C-alpha cells in the first residue's frame, strides 16, 4: 500500500522552504529555494516544481502527494492569491494556488498567510493540540497572528482576518508602521521594534550601557538580548518596555475571543523570562476581571524551522478534503431545470 503524503510550502521573503509530510506530521524530507531569484512568478513556480519533483523522486514519494498547503505573506485562503505582499517581487496580485496546482498536474492546493499556517501547525502538532480556542502570535521581523475560534481559523469575510500586529497600541505620537499608519503593535513588539526601542533609549537617555559600544544604526534585537543576558540594565529595560506593551495588547485580545491560550512563536519568543515576565505581568494587570488567570501564555512547541512547513502541510490535508467534498456534490442538485 502506498503511503499518502502532503506537501507543505512556506514562502518567506528570503527562502521558500518545502517539505514532504506524512500523515503523522513527520517531515520525511525538505529542501528550499531562493524566493526572489525570479521576478517573474511563472519562472518561480517552474523552479519550485522542479525542485519539489527532485525531492519527491529521491524519497520515493512521486504520485503520493494528496494535497499541497502553502503559507505565504498576505496569502488569501478564499481566493488562493497573494495580494500586495511588500516583501515579494511578483507584483500586487499573484494567483498562487491556481498556478501551483496547474504545475503539479491538478493536485489540490490551499493557501493562507504565514501566521495562520503557524497556528494550524500548533493546533495539529504543537502546543495547541486539543485546544479549540487560542491565539497564535508570531514575533519576527513583523508581528503576525492567527486566531482560532471553536476549532477554526478565523479568516473573516475576505480571507484576511487576524491582523493583530496592526492593532494600534499608541494613539498619539505612535511610531510609523510598515502598513502606512502609526502606533501599531508591530512597530513596538517585533524584532525590528525592539531594535527601534534600543535606538530611542540610547538617544534619549544618558546612563551607561554596553549597547553604546555598538553602531546605533545597525543594532539588532539579538544585540539587545545578548546585552540583557550579560546583565545590562538598559537592555533589560528595553525588554520590559516591549513585554509590557505586548502584554497590554494581549489583555485586549483575550477580551475579544476568550482564548484558552496565547501561543508565542518566533525568534523574539525565545528571549525567555526577559520578555515573558513583563508580558505576563502586563497581561495579569490589564485583563478584564472575568478572564483573570484563564488564558495561558505558552511558547510554541514546534521547532522554528519545522513549524511553517508543518502548518502548511496541515492545510494540504484540508485542500485534499475540500477537493474530495467538492467532487462528491452532484452538479445539478441545486439547479432547477429551466424550461424555455
Ligand atoms: Zn501597521
Task: Check residue 327 and give its pLDDT.
Answer: 87
Q: How far away, in angstroms, is 211 Cα from ligand 1 center?
A: 27
User: What sign does the CA torsion over 264, 316, 259, 245 have?
Assistant: positive
* Across 3-20, average pLDDT: 93
Work out the average pLDDT over 47-69.
Answer: 96
Residue 285: count other Cβ atoms within 10 Å of its Cβ.
11
- CA atoms within 13 A of residue 255's CA, in its CB half-sphere: 12
Predicted confidence (pLDDT) per residue in 81-124, tens digit: 999 888 899 999 999 999 999 999 999 999 999 899 999 999 99
304 versus 139: which is more confidently predicted? 139
Give the containing element (helix H, strand E) for 328.
helix 304-328
Strand partners, 30: 19
C-alpha of residue 181 to centroid of ligand 1, in Å: 6
- Percent of the residues in the chain that have a pLDDT greater than 70, as a whole number: 96
Distance between Cα 319 and ligand 1 center (Å): 30
Distance 166 CA to ligand 1 centre (A): 4
Q: How far apart, in whole angstroms, are the C-alpha atoms of residue 25 and residue 122? A: 11
> What's the 286 CA to ligand 1 centre distance in angstroms?
22
Q: What is the mean pLDDT of residues 286-295?
A: 97
Q: What is the mean pLDDT of residues 249-272?
A: 96
Distance 149 CA to ligand 1 centre (A): 24
Query: For position 22, what pLDDT does the model report?
Result: 95
Q: How far is the CA of 250 from the centre of ligand 1 (A)?
A: 16
Number of residues in the chain: 340
Sketch out the chain's domains with CATH numbers: 5-117+303-328 (3.30.420.40), 130-299 (3.30.420.40)
Point out the least confidently predicted range of 161-165, 261-265, 329-333: 329-333
Is the pLDDT assigned to residue 1 strictly greater than 50? no
What are the start-end ranges of the H helices in the chain? 41-58, 96-103, 114-125, 186-189, 191-204, 221-229, 233-257, 273-286, 304-328
Distance from the alpha carbon of residue 115 to the mean position of ligand 1, in angstroms? 15
Q: Is 80 exceeded by the pLDDT of residue 338?
A: no
Compute, in angstroms, the gap from residue 159 CA to the centroid of ligand 1: 18
Once rounded to an integer, what is the mean pLDDT over residues 239-252? 98
Pick from 105, 107, 120: nearest CA to 162: 120
Report the pLDDT averaged over residues 312-324: 93
Mean pLDDT of 135-150: 95
Residue 299 Cα to ligand 1 middle (Å): 24
- Look at residue 53 in the predicted model and tell me its pLDDT: 97
pTM recorded for the entire structure: 0.89
**Kind plus residue range of the DSSP H or E element containing 97:** helix 96-103
C-alpha cell at 242: 516591549
Average pLDDT over residues 163-172: 97
pLDDT at 36 over 70: yes
CA dist 330 → 90, 231, 334 (Å): 37, 67, 9
pLDDT band of residue 182 (cuts 50, 70, 90) is: very high
Amino acid at each position: 500500500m502506498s503511503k499518502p503524503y502532503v506537501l507543505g510550502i512556506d514562502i518567506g521573503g528570503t527562502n521558500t522552504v518545502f517539505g514532504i509530510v506524512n500523515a503523522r506530521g513527520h517531515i520525511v524530507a525538505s529542501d528550499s529555494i531562493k524566493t526572489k531569484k525570479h521576478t517573474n512568478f511563472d519562472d518561480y513556480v517552474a523552479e519550485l516544481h522542479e525542485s519539489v519533483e527532485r525531492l519527491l523522486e529521491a524519497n520515493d514519494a512521486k504520485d503520493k502527494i494528496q494535497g499541497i498547503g502553502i503559507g505565504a505573506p498576505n496569502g488569501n485562503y478564499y481566493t488562493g492569491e497573494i495580494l500586495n505582499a511588500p516583501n515579494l517581487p511578483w507584483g500586487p496580485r499573484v494567483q498562487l494556488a491556481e498556478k501551483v496546482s496547474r504545475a503539479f498536474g491538478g493536485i489540490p492546493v490551499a493557501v493562507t498567510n504565514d501566521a495562520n499556517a503557524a497556528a494550524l501547525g500548533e493546533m495539529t502538532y504543537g502546543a495547541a493540540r486539543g485546544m479549540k480556542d487560542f491565539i497564535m502570535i508570531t514575533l519576527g521581523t513583523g508581528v503576525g497572528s492567527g486566531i482560532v475560534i471553536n476549532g477554526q481559523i478565523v479568516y473573516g469575510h475576505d480571507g484576511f482576518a487576524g491582523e493583530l500586529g496592526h492593532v494600534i497600541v499608541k494613539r498619539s505620537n505612535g511610531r510609523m508602521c510598515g502598513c502606512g499608519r502609526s502606533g501599531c503593535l508591530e512597530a513596538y513588539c517585533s524584532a525590528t521594534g525592539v531594535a527601534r526601542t534600543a535606538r530611542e533609549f540610547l538617544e534619549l537617555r544618558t546612563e551607561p550601557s554596553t549597547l553604546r559600544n555598538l553602531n546605533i544604526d545597525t543594532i539588532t534585537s539579538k544585540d539587545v538580548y545578548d546585552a540583557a543576558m550579560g546583565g545590562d540594565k538598559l537592555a533589560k529595560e528595553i525588554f520590559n518596555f516591549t513585554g509590557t506593551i505586548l502584554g497590554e495588547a494581549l489583555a485586549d485580545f483575550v477580551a475579544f475571543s476568550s482564548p484558552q491560550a496565547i501561543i508565542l512563536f518566533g525568534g523574539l519568543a525565545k528571549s525567555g523570562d526577559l520578555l515573558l515576565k513583563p508580558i505576563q505581568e502586563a497581561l495579569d494587570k490589564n485583563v478584564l476581571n472575568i478572564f483573570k488567570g484563564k488564558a495561558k501564555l505558552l511558547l510554541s512547541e514546534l521547532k522554528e524551522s519545522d513549524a511553517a512547513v508543518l502548518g502548511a502541510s496541515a492545510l494540504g490535508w484540508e485542500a485534499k478534503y475540500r477537493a474530495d467534498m467538492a467532487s462528491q456534490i452532484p452538479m445539478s442538485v441545486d439547479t432547477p431545470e429551466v424550461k424555455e
